[in-house]
Chains A and B, each alone.
Chain A
């Protein structure tokens, strides 16, 4: 018998209790890991590393209001600006309304430059890009979206419009790879398809995406653009891409506060449950602890053994909970990734996993230490008298 065997066997003393506590730990760690990962995912939308030099210009009165495409001329004239791209959320679906993914009508002439990181432009050949530019009914799709639907270059994708009354049939001209899976869950087609198919969209766009040369120029540019169009028929609201995305995410409510609140509640609940269980388990063993000490186990040795039990118990629960969360993350990716593109990035990051593990270990140590310390302070003779 080794020390670990001793600790392990002690843990299995009351199987029902051990199972119960491991079970509640699994659930708690699972919940916290998934919720925290949700938060990380949402955070990553608002902090796209490629978004630092992009601005979104939209109508001051809201995302659904349109701006004249002619504004592009003024935007282009600004010395800070590198490219401008009209982008309109199309909101169509392929075959089944549930089979939903992000699709946009976008200015094909500037889309690659404006979002060159997302499209992995460096890996695309000029010929590939030209193929798309040449075909007005062409489209480009991300690789993971293509894989999911079994699409390849040359296939025709019929899209059914939901916001706009057109059902464009688009030929895939290019499949791109991106560094983030969420960026691959996207389809773009020529802006003309929207303008020509939907008369009320003629000369209008939902937003301009502006790429600047240097991020430092952004505040100045925002100020100038909005001032220029103030008091016109179409006033603008210019903001950074992060702020724009944040506005989008805010629709989900103050989710961050809710998640942190739930996390704290779960951690406190599990701390109380674990402390109570470990407390009972250790107090029941008063006589046994006294016997160990009579045999020559020092108080600190007994304390370490008890702490090892607590840590092993909690570590087990946490590890299982994380495994479960990891498995669930795959489900979330495939189920939600299509509805909200950023969920395609959903994963239990190693930071989240480590935090959960560290939190669980802290819970284990904290909940075990107090009763264990008290038990080893107790006189041996008293422990021996407590024999039932």
Chain B
């Protein structure tokens, strides 16, 4: 095994992928999307997953985030072997361990910024008051306290994405997964969102896996992993 090629530095792995493959079937025809993925990502990493369109970045991210299942191979994430969890256990696991950030924010349009952030907390045992305090806390962190009663349509793209980030971290997950988080933003807003993610990584120790094909965005990560036609190509440490 050529572990050296994917050395992301020391530290306990929080994400471990072994022999992961993923195929889709169109009728009897197997379409392999990922093949032979072996990867360890240490706690506290900020990894940019790069590669050409269709190379399988989103597919790999979805597997790590537990919203998709591999065709073969094992994934251990946050101390859980994901293959061992049934769908409901996996849902509970995601709520506890993973925060999602999407390219198009995916806020619920009929809920205010505050309510959007509160949403994942409805599944926890927190009471109303504790939830409110927690939401206020993360909204302050993304600097949107003054916009908390706005609806998504009353926010700019950059603000919407910051609300989405607040929603992703409100349950205090170990891992943040982001699929092209700046894909819909202009340069200035993209910088702001990436800066925020950098702080979440550096100050709060969140492990971040971010899919991007934008080299500028990838530059904010500490490591870049390149995917090529469903196979890991190389890992690069970002020099700053």
Query: Which residues of A come within 8 Å of B, CB atoms?
Result: 1-3, 6, 9-10, 12-13, 287-288, 290-301, 379-381, 384, 387
Tell me the bound Cα distance from A295 to B91 in angstroms. 8
Q: Which of B111-143 contact A (CB under 8 A)?
A: 111, 115, 118-120, 122-123, 128
Mark each residue of chain B from 87 to 120: 1 if its CB lies under 8 Å from any CB of chain A, else 0.
1100111111000101110101111000100111
Chain A residues whose CB sits within 8 angstroms of the CB of B167 once the complex forms: 295
Tell me the bound Cα distance from A15 to B122 in angstroms. 25
Chain B residues whose CB sits within 8 angstroms of the CB of A295 once the complex forms: 94-95, 100, 119-120, 123, 167
- A384–B102 CB distance below 8 A: yes
- B110–A381 CB distance below 8 A: no
- Give, as a whole number of angstroms, the nearest-CB distance from A15 to chain B: 10
Tell me the bound Cα distance from A358 to B99 in angstroms. 41
* A-B contact list, 17 entries, CB within 8 Å: A1-B118, A1-B122, A12-B110, A288-B106, A288-B108, A291-B100, A295-B167, A296-B120, A297-B123, A298-B88, A298-B91, A301-B91, A301-B123, A381-B62, A381-B68, A384-B67, A387-B104
Tell me the bound Cα distance from A295 to B164 in angstroms. 11
- B110–A10 CB distance below 8 A: yes
Chain A residues whose CB sits within 8 angstroms of the CB of B92 once the complex forms: 296, 298
- A380–B68 CB distance below 8 A: yes
Tell me the bound Cα distance from A381 to B118 in angstroms. 23
Chain A residues whose CB sits within 8 angstroms of the CB of B171 once the complex forms: 296
Given A1-B122, A288-B106, A298-B87: A381 and B100 interface contact (C-beta under 8 Å): no
The 3 closest A-B pairs by CB, nearest first: A296-B95, A380-B67, A298-B91
- A381–B94 CB distance below 8 A: no
Interface residue B8 (Cβ < 8 Å from any Cβ of A): no
Tell me the bound Cα distance from A291 to B123 in angstroms. 14
For the complex with contacts A3-B122, A296-B92, 13 further pairs of A-B residues with Cβ separation under 8 Å are A1-B111, A1-B118, A9-B110, A12-B110, A291-B102, A294-B65, A294-B67, A296-B120, A296-B123, A298-B88, A380-B68, A381-B68, A387-B106
Tell me the bound Cα distance from A210 to B232 in angstroms. 100
Tell me the bound Cα distance from A379 to B66 in angstroms. 12
- Give, as a whole number of angstroms, the nearest-CB distance from B87 to chain A: 7
Given A12-B110, A293-B91, A298-B87: A1 and B96 interface contact (C-beta under 8 Å): no
- A296–B106 CB distance below 8 A: no
Determine the residue in chain B with the shortest Cβ distance to A10. Answer: B110
- Give, as a whole number of angstroms, the nearest-CB distance from B113 to chain A: 12
Determine the residue in chain B with the shortest Cβ distance to A291. Answer: B106
- Give, as a whole number of angstroms, the nearest-CB distance from A9 to chain B: 5
Tell me the bound Cα distance from A384 to B62 in angstroms. 10
- Give, as a whole number of angstroms, the nearest-CB distance from A292 to chain B: 8
Determine the residue in chain A with the shortest Cβ distance to B170. Answer: A295
- B106–A6 CB distance below 8 A: no
- Give, as a whole number of angstroms, the nearest-CB distance from B119 to chain A: 7
Q: Is the interface of A mostly helix, strand, loop or mixed?
A: helix
Tell me the bound Cα distance from A276 to B178 in angstroms. 35
- Give, as a whole number of angstroms, the nearest-CB distance from A150 to chain B: 56
Chain A residues whose CB sits within 8 angstroms of the CB of B96 once the complex forms: 296
Chain B residues whose CB sits within 8 angstroms of the CB of A380 once the complex forms: 62, 67-68
Tell me the bound Cα distance from A291 to B115 in angstroms. 15
- A381–B67 CB distance below 8 A: yes
Tell me the bound Cα distance from A296 to B67 in angstroms. 10
Chain B residues whose CB sits within 8 angstroms of the CB of A12 once the complex forms: 110
Chain B residues whose CB sits within 8 angstroms of the CB of A294 once the complex forms: 65, 67, 94, 100
Chain A residues whose CB sits within 8 angstroms of the CB of B120 once the complex forms: 295-296
Determine the residue in chain A with the shortest Cβ distance to B119. Answer: A295
Determine the residue in chain A with the shortest Cβ distance to B103. Answer: A387
Tell me the bound Cα distance from A12 to B115 in angstroms. 15
Chain A residues whose CB sits within 8 angstroms of the CB of B68 once the complex forms: 379-381
Chain A residues whose CB sits within 8 angstroms of the CB of B91 once the complex forms: 293, 296-299, 301
- Give, as a whole number of angstroms, the nearest-CB distance from A274 to chain B: 20
- Give, as a whole number of angstroms, the nearest-CB distance from B65 to chain A: 7
Chain B residues whose CB sits within 8 angstroms of the CB of A290 once the complex forms: 67
| Residue with the highest number of chain A CB atoms closer than 10 Å, among B58, B91, B100, B128 | B91
Chain A residues whose CB sits within 8 angstroms of the CB of B103 once the complex forms: 387
Chain B residues whose CB sits within 8 angstroms of the CB of A2 once the complex forms: 128
Tell me the bound Cα distance from A13 to B59 in angstroms. 31
Determine the residue in chain A with the shortest Cβ distance to B168. Answer: A295
- Give, as a whole number of angstroms, the nearest-CB distance from B64 to chain A: 12
Tell me the bound Cα distance from A317 to B115 in angstroms. 27
Given A10-B110, A297-B91: A1 and B65 interface contact (C-beta under 8 Å): no
Chain B residues whose CB sits within 8 angstroms of the CB of A300 once the complex forms: 88
Tell me the bound Cα distance from A292 to B96 in angstroms. 14
- Give, as a whole number of angstroms, the nearest-CB distance from A203 to chain B: 80
